[in-house]
Amino acid sequence: MADQLAIQGGAPVRTKPFAGWPVFGESDQQALIAALQSGNWGKLQGDQVRTFEKRFAEYHEARHGVAIVNGTVGLRLALLAAGIQAGDEVLVPPYTFLATASAVIEANAVPVFVDLELDTFNIDPKGIEAAITPRTRAVIPVHLGGLPCNMEAIMAIARRHKLTVIEDACHAHGAAYQGHRVGSLGDLGVFSFQSSKNLCSGEGGIILTNDDELAARCWSMHNCGRVPGGAWYEHHVIGGNYRLSEFQGAVLNSQFDRFDQQADTRDRNGKYLAGRLAKLPGIYPQVRTADCTRHGYHLFSLRVVADEFGMPREVLLDALKAEGIPTSPGYLIPLYRQRLFENLAFGPYTSYRASQPNLDYRKVTCPNCETISYSQGVWLEQRIFLGTREDMDDIAAAFEKVHAHRDQLAPAAG
């Protein structure tokens, strides 16, 4: 029967692969070879990384960009540049990649988890306000999947309480909030260019800021504590070698030539798919707020509510896979439930022992994060959104088909 579910032996909705990632061609090859032949392979000798820093910063409306080896290092250097000290508290969401919180530990400070808004998957500004203590110094909003956080509310709270705002924009290249690109809305913004990211060079990252002093500190720390114009073996502050190579700079420059068009395509396709899927009972695509003027769509996220849709998440994802639609359940464990936090396995970073001797992440609960992680969250990857309207129609058709056959699959649970 043509209409039978693929998981039960029917024909799948989709047999063609979706768009692949990374996208590259002749221009990337030429850029890499030119970097090779220049003989200038390090950032301090060549001009590829420097050129890219300028281009990426300008595109995101920031005065300064300091490229670094990855987003994790970028977050830690941003915290150090902001003057975070031992025992300071930094507010972070629990629904994010580990680095948002581990960078805080590696800055010798203490991450404090603040729950999400269920509909946007982003940190809840009300939760930020409630979590502030006399030790709170900074907040790291993560633009989850590329949807800008409620920056107006976050900045207002931060200014009132003198907190530094470090945007974790590792999912949000080119995303815009009220017409302005993210990454330059807070005091500092951090992006990743790791392989899966919407702009990538295998590994890499960048810190953006509009603050000259913060930029100077980041530059110095990423270059072994040197200062511009200083001697090679002259070191002013603690830092390390976190510089990108010219090969990465060359790839980033050629990849960046395609970026804006790719970002528009993702945004258009993501918006269209969200509109189609929202019509199904129990499917709640991440809500695109009125302030979001471009969604980055590093991830297309949605919630499935089992008793409304007619089956639990895992049953849906297996059925979609059989229909030729690749999905993922996303982050399955709230960060505070990772062993690292439950066991305070922080290595030498034990500043909390003096300032927060009763720190116990086993007592932390963020109900919205747990709902999304444990039962409702579903992701589709950014590469899929580089395809066509017909690709989106196939995805929607597969969801609709599985829903129509819900009675033949496992009964709803919770």
Ligand X SMILES: Cc1ncc(COP(=O)(O)O)c(C=O)c1O
| Binding interface with ligand X (CB under 6 A) | 70-72, 96-97, 99-100, 142, 168, 170-171, 192, 194, 205
Of 64, 137, 171, 173, which one is the catalytic site residue? 171
32 touches 247 (CB < 8 A)? yes
Active site residue 171: yes
Closest to ligand X by CB, 71 or 310: 71
Helix (H) or strand (E) holding 265: helix 246-277
Q: Which of 14, 187, 194, 286 is catalytic?
A: 194
Supply the minimum distance, in Å, between the C-beta of residue 97 and ligand X: 4
CB contact set of 353 (below 8 Å; sequence gap of 6+): none
Active site residue 59: no
- Both tokens of 158, joined, read 């931060």
Task: Give min distance, CB of 58 to ligand X, in A.
Answer: 22
Residue 42: CB minimum distance to ligand X, A: 20
Q: Which CB sits closer to ligand X, 96 or 289?
A: 96
Residue 360, burial from CB neighbour count under 10 angstroms (0-12, 13-18, 19+) = exposed
Residue from 173, 243, 403, 405 carrying the catalytic annotation? 243
**Is 243 an annotated catalytic residue?**
yes
CB 396, CB 276: distance < 8 Å: yes
**E strand or H helix at 29, and its extent?**
helix 26-38
Nearer to ligand X, 74 or 312 (CB): 74
> Is 408 a known active-site residue?
no
> Which of residues 46 and 205 has its CB atom nearest to ligand X in the complex?
205
CB 140 → ligand X: shortest distance, Å? 9
193 vs 309 by CB, closer to ligand X = 193
* Amino acid found at 168: D
Which position among 181, 197, 294, 313 bears the catalytic label? 197
CB of 196 to ligand X, least distance (A): 7
- How many Å apart are CA 218 and CA 200, to the nearest integer? 21
Question: Letter for the amino acid at 35?
Answer: A
Query: What are residue 287's DSSP bridge partners?
Result: none
- Does the annotation mark 279 as catalytic? no
Nearest to 146 by CA among 182, 189, 179: 182
Catalytic residue among 3, 37, 162, 233: 233
Active site residue 97: yes
Q: What share of the chain is helix, strand, coil (3-state, %, to 5)?
A: 40, 15, 45
> Which is nearer to ligand X, 101 or 320 (by Cβ)?
101
Distance of closest approach, residue 103 Cβ to ligand X, in angstroms: 8
Ranges assigned E (strand) in 29-70: 64-68
Residue of 76, 222, 226, 288 with catalytic role: 226
Whether 168 is catalytic is: yes
- Shortest distance, position 41 Cβ to ligand X, whole Å: 21
Residue with smaller CB distance to ligand X, 14 or 298: 298
Element (H, E) at 112: strand 110-113
Kindly state the smallest distance separating residue 247's Cβ from ligand X, in Å. Answer: 17
Active-site residue identified among 88, 115, 124, 168: 168
Residue showing the smallest CB distance to ligand X in the complex: 71
Look at the alpha carbons of 106, 189, 209, 69 in this order and tell me if their dihedral is positive or negative. positive
What sections of 39-144 are H helices per DSSP?
Answer: 48-59, 71-81, 99-105, 125-131
Residues ≥6 apart with Cβ < 8 Å to 187: 82, 164, 165, 166, 209, 211, 214
Q: Is 135 exposed, middle or buried (0-12, 13-18, 19+ CB in 10 A)?
A: middle
C-beta closer to ligand X: residue 163 or 170 = 170
- Side by side, the strands of the sheet bearing 299-304 are 283-285, 299-304, 377-381
Task: For residue 389, indicate whether it is catalytic.
Answer: no
Beta bridge partners of 192: 205
Q: Which residues are catalytic?
A: 97, 168, 171, 194, 197, 226, 233, 243
